[in-house]
Structure 1
Amino acid sequence: MKAIAIEEFGRPEGLALIDIPDPAPARGQVLIATEAIGVAGVDVMIRSGALAAYGYREGHIPGGEVAGTVTAVGDGVYPGWLGQRVWGFTGTGGGYAEQAIAPVAEVVPLPVGLSAVDAVTLGSAGVVAHFGLSHARFSPGEAVLVRGAAGSIGIMAVQLAAHGGASAVAVTTSSPERGRRLRDLGATHVLNRSGEGQPDDPAGYDVIIDVVAGQGMPSFFDRLNPNGRLVVVGAVGGQPPADFGTRLMAAFQKSMSFATFSAATVAEPDRRAVRMEQFAAVRRGELQTVVHEVLPLEHAVAAHQKPDAGEVFGRIVLTPN
């Protein structure tokens, strides 16, 4: 089968289309003939080599999120999965391929009428946004800032905060056009990447959901209200400075909190329940998925060049022929 591997860390051109044997599901796994493959920020980080210290090596096949049809099941898996259209989380990678393996515990049936493209646009991002807000103890009536709101996680966080009764939903983004699109999704205030906006923007925020991290993260502690909470749910901008805690401690009297969040810390049944409800909400028209572009699998280099250039609003999706 065809797959995309990282032949050389660094630039997107280090990705290559290769032929590998068809995989076979082991016990507790299913094989999915992929219809859509999500291109996530973590895929870009792995390809760049930024996560090599976590065990990723050249030759790795990226991709943790796929949707398609189950074509084979491993031992111990209910045969009724065969032929079902599903969303699946592959774990550490392997999704950029015509067929992908996923643990059956990380597979969710697609509701009738939900496309594979919509599924991989929402499947992981919606869960991270939902539980990220929960981790921040977000309550109705609080002001929320989403830092890095143009990606799939940020777009979902904006919608969920707005639907959840936030008094204000501010976003940081790179252009007025992106700001207009985010307002259509529920944002009430648009700031630039440094967090600067208009005089009538909220002076402070109770919750900041940060998808970016990076060197600029500590400056956003200054935007927190007393008892405010900043939760990092992504690091597309890289690691924050090593002494970022100094900035937090400087505002000791405000009792602010900092935390990180990974969906891996949420029990699988809870992730599944939220994912299924969000899939249903898209079908009801209550949530919107935003797809930047759908590209063939063999155009994976182009799919990675776009986020490197900061051109993506929403999710890029790869589709095998």
Structure 2
Amino acid sequence: MKAIIIKAYGGPEGLAVVDLPTPAPAAGQVLIATEAVGVGGVDTLIRSGALAAYGFKEGHIPGGEVAGIVTAVGDGVDASWIGRRVWGFTGTGGGYVEQAIAPVEEILPLPDSLSAVDAATIGSSGVVAHFGLRHAHFVPGETVLVRGAAGSIGIMTVQLAARGGAAAVAVTTSSAERGLRLRRLGATHVLNRSGDAEQEATQEAPAGYDVIIDVVAGRDLPSFFDRLNPNGRMVAVGAVAGQPPAEFGMKIMAAFQKSMSFATFSAATVSRADRQAVRDEQFAAAGRTEIEPVVHEVLSLDEAVLAHQKMDSGEVFGRIVLTP
């Protein structure tokens, strides 16, 4: 089968197309003929070598989510899965392939109304957005700022906050065109990457926010503490710009009397049953067009280098999906 491996850590050119034997599912696993593979920000971090300390080695196959048809099952798995369309979580890798292995506990059947491409677009990002907002103790009537809203997690957070009754949903993004698209998805205010209102804004942005969901992190993260209301909560659900400065906590301590809080969130801390229940609900909602999966572009599997070049350039709005 065709697969994409990280031949050398660094830039996108370190990805290589190789031919590997089709794997056989072990006990408790299924084999999925992939129809769509989601390209995530964590894939680019792994490829760059930024996460090498976590045990990723050259030769690693990127990709954590796929959608396709179950073609084989391992021991202990109900054979009725064979032939069914599913979404599957392959873990921290193993998705950029024509035939992917996933634990049976990490697959979900897809509604007929949802395409494989759309499933691979929202399968992981929707769960992070949902539980990220919950981790921030968001309640209807509060104001929300989504920092880095043009990626798949940010887009889902905008939609879920708006559907959840936010009084305002502000977003940071890099262009007026992206801002317009985010308004169509539920954003009420568009800010530039520094968090300042754009010139064309027709409605004054909130002076502060009850909740900030941050996908970006990086050196500018501390400056957003100033935008929290008293008792405001900031939750970092990603770090596409790298780690914040080591002294970032001093900003919170300097505003001690505002009772602000900062937290990180990883979907790995949520039980599998809870993740799957929310994902199942979101797939159904997307099938009813209540949630919009935003696909930036569909590329072939052997165009993985191009996909990562686009990710690194910051030009992606939504998610890139690879198809074998």
Structure 1 residue runs of 5 or longer lacking an equivalent are none
SS of structure 2 residue aligned to 1:171: strand
Report the CA distance between 1:293 and its aligned residue: 0.2
Describe the superposition over 1:54-103 as per-residue Cα deviations: whole angstroms up to 9, x where unpaired: 11111100000000000111111111111110000001201000010001
State yes or no: 1:201 paired with 2:205.
yes
Q: Trace 1:23-102 onto structure 2 (pairs within 5 A).
A: 23-102=23-102
1:217 is matched with: 221
The answer to whether 1:153 aligns with 2:157 is: no
1:87 partner amino acid: W
User: 1:92 and 1:31 mapped to 2: Cα distance?
Assistant: 17
CA–CA distance in 1 between the matches of 2:289 and 2:90?
A: 28
> Which 4+ stretches in 1 moved above 4 angstroms?
none
Q: Secondary structure at the match of 1:230?
A: strand
**Aligned equivalents of 1:158, 1:148: Cα separation in 2:** 11
Corresponding residue of 2:246 = 242
Displacement of 1:113 in angstroms is: 2.0
CA distance in 2, matches of 1:115, 1:62: 22
One-letter amino acid of the counterpart of residue 78, structure 2: Y
Match of 2:125 in 1: 125
CA distance in 1, matches of 2:100, 2:244: 34
Q: 2:298 aligns with which of 282, 287, 294?
A: 294
Q: In structure 1, what is the Cα distance between the partners aligned to 2:240 and 2:275?
A: 23
Could you report, residue by residue, the CA deviation over 1:155-204 in whole angstroms, capped at 9, with x for unpaired residues? 00000000000000000000000000000000000000111115811000
**In the TM superposition, what whole-angstrom CA distance separates every residue of 1:20-79 from its partner, at most 9, and x where no partner exists?**
111111111111000000000000100111100111111100000000000111111111
Aligned residues: 320
Structure 1 residue 137, shift from structure 2 partner: 0.3
Is 1:304 aligned to 2:308, yes or no?
A: yes
Q: Which amino acid aligns with 1:112?
A: D
Instruction: Provide the residue aligned with 2:166 in structure 1.
Output: 166
Match of 2:111 in 1: 111
Tell whether the 8 Å contact from 2:113 to 2:288 is kept in structure 1 after alignment.
Answer: no
Aligned pairs (5 A) from 1:9-20:
9-20=9-20
CA deviations on 1:90-121 (whole Å, 9 max, x unpaired) are: 01201000010001111000001210000000
Deviation of 1:307 (Å): 1.2
Q: CA RMSD in A?
A: 0.8
TM-score, structure 2 as length reference: 0.98
Unaligned runs of 5+ in 2: none
Please name the residue that 1:263 is paired with: 267
